[in-house]
Structure formats: structure tokens, C-alpha cells
Structure 1
Amino acid sequence: MANPKKEGTFKWNATQTYDNGDVVKWTGKEDSAHPTPTTTVKKGANPNDTHSDSSQGDSIVLWIVAIVAIVISLIALFKQAHPKKFN
């Protein structure tokens, strides 16, 4: 995603229709009951200045947890299918 080239606050008109058929136009001034929605856009960091906070260690831990969960699930299913063998 590219960073914006222009900073600023942008206003956009909106119309909201409710289930009961009421229609509200959000086009008023800032202090009105239905103000115009605004979006503030700021320039971001250099897009080439990216890095990942996760490490490979996290990935290994997730794999181990997933495998343990699968094994426990299979044991539970096996016990449910053959309850007399474990009683």
C-alpha cells in the first residue's frame, strides 16, 4: 500500500438509511447533530523501512502447539469411538 502524497482532512457526505425507512444525511457542520464525516490523512513512514517483529522461534512454538492439539484431538476421538478399551 502506498503512502499518501498529500496530508489533510478530507470531508465526505454520507447518507444512512435505517431498517425502519428513516434516512439521515450526514452533511452538517461539525457542531450539528449529523456532522459531515471526516478522514484525517497523514504521511506514513518510508515504505522501504519495514521489518517484522516476529521471530522464527514463534513459528516453531506455534507448530509444536498445533501438533500437540492434533494429537490430543485424535486421542479424544479414539477414546470416544472405542470407550471399552480404556475403561
Structure 2
Amino acid sequence: MPNKKSAIKALKQSEKNRVANKSAIKRIKTERKKFIAFIESGNLEEAKKAFCLTQSLLGKAAKTKLFHWKKSARLTARMAQKFPKDNYV
């Protein structure tokens, strides 16, 4: 257990950030899985909505340094490739 006041505060902050980061990562994973399920079922309208939402979440994750910006770009590009060629967003 930390003894100094600043160390106690740092511990509280890091725990709070850890929980928030875990929640954000889980939400991104869930939305990506929904997107893939829509693509596989052929529901392109729902897939487009899910793509836009996931793309937004990935951009925010990169902006807040939750993911490296290149990882966010890579995941977004791979999702975009899953669309049929004639129905790209």
C-alpha cells in the first residue's frame, strides 16, 4: 500500500483509468463482432451502421491513446475490406 499522498492518488487514478480502458476495449470488440455477424448474414444496412459506429469508436480510441493510431487504421481498413465490392460504404 502506498504511503505518500501523491502515490495514493496515483493508485486511485490508475485503477479508474484501467476500468475505463477495459470497458472501452470491450465495447469496440463487441461492435466489431456485431459488424462481422451482419456481414455474414448479408444484412448490409445494419453492417453499414455498425461500421460507422465502430469506425468512430476506433478513432476515439486512437485519439485518447488507447490504441496506437496505426492499429485503429488497420482495423478500420480490414473492416472496410469485408464489404462486397459493389456495396462499399
> Taking CA–CA contacts closer than 8 Å with sequence separation of 6 or more, which of the two structures ends up with the larger relative contact order?
1
Greater helix fraction, Structure 1 or Structure 2 = 2
Return the index of the structure with the highest Cα Rg.
Answer: 1
Greater strand fraction, Structure 1 or Structure 2 = 1
TM-score (norm 1): 0.36
TM-score (norm 2): 0.35
